[in-house]
C-alpha cells in the first residue's frame, strides 16, 4: 500500500514541472478577462503560474521599455508592438498575431436591438443630443481610441465630434462611462460591448473604416521566464485558448 501511494505521488510530481515559473503578461485592457480565463487553463495544464496585468497598450509598452518586469506582451495594436520592437525590448522571432476584434458604437442601457452598419448618414452628433459626450479611449495613444478616430474620420464626423469626446485611459474605462450613464454613447470593441449588460450595440463600424484590429503577442527580451513565456504564447495560439477567445467574441488570427 505504501509503495502504491509512493508511486502515485511520484506520478503526480512528474506531471508538473520541477520548478514552476511565474509568467507575467502585460495585456491590452480589452483582452483582460478572456486572457485570465485562458491562462487559468494553462496553469492547470502545466503547473506554472500566470499574472495578467491589463491596461492600455500604450501604457504597457512604455512600462516595458522602462524595464517593468514583464515576460509577455499582448497589444491591441501592431503599432505599439512595432514600437516595442524598435526599442529592442521584445524577442522579434516570437512575435505572432493571437486574435482579432471589431469596433462598435455602444449606447447606455441593455436594450436588445439589432445594430445597424455605420455609414456617413448615421448621424452620431444628433444622437448625442445637445450636451451628450462620446466616450472613447485616448484618441492619440490607446489603440481603441486611434481606431475610433480613424472610423469617425472615415464617416466624415470626427471634426464635429472631437470637441465632444470624453477620453478615458483605456477602452474598458470608456465602456464604464457608458455603462454608468455618464456618456450616452461610446466607441469600444465588440468584445467589450458583449461583456457589459448595461450597454447595447447601436452600430458597427465597417472594417474598411479603420486599420485591422489585431492583437500581436511577443516574449519580452530578457524575460525572467523566457521558456515558460514562449510556451504560453504558443499555447495561446492553439485550439484550447482560441476556443476561450471565441466565447468572448474575439476572431481568429488568420
Residue 94 annotated as part of some ligand binding site: no
Residue 171 annotated as part of some ligand binding site: yes
Cell numbers describing residue 42? 494553462
Residue 57 annotated as part of some ligand binding site: yes
Residue 147 annotated as part of some ligand binding site: no
Closest CA to 60 of 139, 135, 136, 143: 143
Residue 59 annotated as part of some ligand binding site: no
Which residues, other chains included, contact 148 with Cβ-Cβ below 8 Å and sequence gap of 6+? 103, 136, 137, 139, 187, 210
Closest CA to 241 of 22, 49, 39, 62: 39
247: enclosing H helix or E strand: helix 239-247
For residues 55 and 74, what is the distance between their CA atoms, to the nearest angstrom? 11
Burial 59-78 (b: 16+ CB within 10 A, else e): bbbbbbeeebebbbbbbbbb
Residue numbering of the annotated binding site for molybdate: 30, 57, 144, 171, 189
Residue numbering of the annotated binding site: 30, 57, 144, 171, 189
Amino acid at each position: 500500500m505504501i509503495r502504491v501511494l509512493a508511486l502515485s505521488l511520484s506520478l503526480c510530481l512528474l506531471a508538473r514541472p520541477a520548478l514552476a515559473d511565474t509568467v507575467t503578461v502585460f495585456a491590452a485592457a480589452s483582452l483582460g478577462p478572456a486572457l485570465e480565463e485562458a491562462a487559468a487553463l494553462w496553469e492547470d495544464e502545466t503547473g506554472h503560474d500566470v499574472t495578467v496585468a491589463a491596461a492600455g497598450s500604450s501604457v504597457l509598452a512604455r512600462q516595458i521599455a522602462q524595464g517593468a518586469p514583464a515576460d509577455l506582451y499582448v497589444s491591441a495594436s501592431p503599432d505599439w508592438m512595432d514600437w516595442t520592437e524598435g526599442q529592442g525590448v521584445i524577442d522579434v522571432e516570437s512575435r505572432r498575431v493571437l486574435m482579432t476584434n471589431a469596433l462598435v458604437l455602444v449606447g447606455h442601457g441593455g436594450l436588445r436591438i439589432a445594430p445597424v452598419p455605420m455609414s456617413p448618414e448615421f448621424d452620431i452628433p444628433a444622437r448625442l443630443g445637445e450636451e451628450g459626450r462620446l466616450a472613447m479611449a485616448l484618441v492619440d495613444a490607446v489603440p481603441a481610441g486611434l481606431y475610433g478616430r480613424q472610423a469617425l474620420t472615415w464617416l466624415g464626423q470626427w471634426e464635429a465630434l472631437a470637441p465632444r469626446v470624453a477620453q478615458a485611459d483605456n477602452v474598458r474605462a470608456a465602456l464604464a462611462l457608458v455603462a454608468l450613464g455618464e456618456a450616452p454613447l461610446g466607441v469600444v470593441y465588440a468584445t467589450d460591448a458583449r461583456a457589459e449588460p448595461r450597454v447595447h450595440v447601436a452600430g458597427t463600424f465597417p472594417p474598411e473604416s479603420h486599420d485591422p484590429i489585431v492583437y500581436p503577442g511577443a516574449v519580452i527580451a530578457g524575460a525572467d521566464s523566457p521558456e515558460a513565456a514562449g510556451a504560453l504564447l504558443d499555447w495561446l495560439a492553439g485550439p484550447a485558448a482560441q476556443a476561450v477567445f471565441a466565447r468572448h467574441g474575439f476572431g481568429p488570427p488568420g
